[in-house]
Amino acid sequence: MSQTADLVVQDLHVAVEGKQILKGLSLEVRKGEVHALMGPNGSGKSTLANTLMGHPRYEVTGGDILFKGESILGLESDARSRAGLFLAFQYPVAIPGVTVSNFLRTALNARLAPRVATTDGSMPARRGIAPKEFRALLREHMALLKMDESFALRYLNDGFSGGEKKRTEILQMAMLKPEIAIMDETDSGLDIDALRIVSEGVNALSGPDLGVLVITHYQRILDYIKPHFVHVMLDGRITLSGGPELALELESRGYDFVREGKESAR
């Protein structure tokens, strides 16, 4: 395995409720790269996303996950986030009563502010971002993503359309500035206009300081977010990797040629 990759998945085996889902998956993602992970339902794509972020339901039974050269298997989800990992959910949860603005400020403080040890055993204090600085940062990123400022006063995902939920995920990613972002089927439930807007937001954030892993069933999101690498996942493993042309081949031929072990004509 390369020593220069920011995220390294080594021969990962993962079980859910005793059933083995990932069966020896290996993958490397570097900042500045966009990777697409494609595969049919049940291949283990979302299992990988949740395992990378430390969801307790997913049991790692073998292999390792290295981030910036160190294993993160022992870290809770919040520690992984503070280290620089980010997951955009396929189905973002609504939180009535909590505004988008308040949620983002809390998330940003948790991401950036260090824990401060206390002597009396109470909840660790945090040095949070100043309100004025936060409002300026929020306005800047909402403008980048072409979002009306009134959006920040709405309750998080409460009554949001599919496109609004996914744009909120991208706004959160913009505010938190992760080093590696995992997008778990962000295109799910989006019409063409919403897909284009969300993709433009991802493209606006892309650059040398951000690596992106786009998990998807379909090639259509890759018309907007151009990957450097495409990986095909079947039965808990990555069975084929290539360039962006591989996604087009999957679109025209389906996954049968991969299942049959045929060489991809590239």
**Which amino acid, one-letter code, is at 62?**
G
- How far apart CA 59 and CA 61 sit, in angstroms, is 6
Q: Is residue 53 part of a domain?
A: yes
Q: Is residue 70 part of a domain?
A: yes
Furthest-apart CA atoms within the chain: distance in Å: 65
Phi, psi for 135 (deg, rounded to 5)? -60, -40
The two three-digit tokens of residue 216, written as one number: 């998807």
Q: Which residues contact 120 (CB under 8 A, 6 or more apart)?
A: none
Q: How many domains does the structure of the chain reveal?
A: 1
Return the pLDDT at 239. Answer: 94
Percent of the chain with pLDDT over 90: 66
pLDDT tens readout for residues 191-214: 888 888 889 989 989 899 999 999
Q: Is residue 144 part of a domain?
A: no
- What is the pLDDT confidence band of residue 263, given thresholds at 50, 70 and 90? very low
DSSP 62-92: EEEEEETTEE-TTS-HHHHHHHTEEEE-SSP
- How far apart CA 61 and CA 218 sit, in angstroms, is 30
Return the pLDDT at 128. Answer: 80
The two three-digit tokens of residue 156, written as one number: 């998080």
In this predicted structure, the answer to whether residue 264 has a pLDDT above a threshold of 50 is no
Nearest Cα to 36, choosing from 165, 170, 183, 179? 183
Q: Is residue 80 part of a domain?
A: yes
CATH number at residue 223: 3.40.50.300
pLDDT tens readout for residues 68-108: 999 999 999 999 999 999 999 888 999 999 999 999 999 99
Q: Which residues contact 50 (CB under 8 A, 6 or more apart)?
A: 57, 58, 87, 184
- How far apart CA 203 and CA 17 sit, in angstroms, is 37
**Which amino acid, one-letter code, is at 71?**
S
pLDDT tens readout for residues 116-138: 444 455 455 556 889 999 999 99
Domain of residue 209: give its range.
Answer: 7-98+178-259
Q: Is residue 197 part of a domain?
A: yes
Q: Is residue 202 part of a domain?
A: yes
Q: Is residue 55 part of a domain?
A: yes
Phi, psi for 174 (deg, rounded to 5)? -65, -40
pLDDT tens readout for residues 55-76: 999 999 999 999 999 999 999 9
Give the strand pairing for 229-234 and 237-242: antiparallel
Q: Which of 44-53, 106-115, 172-181 is predicted least confidently?
A: 106-115
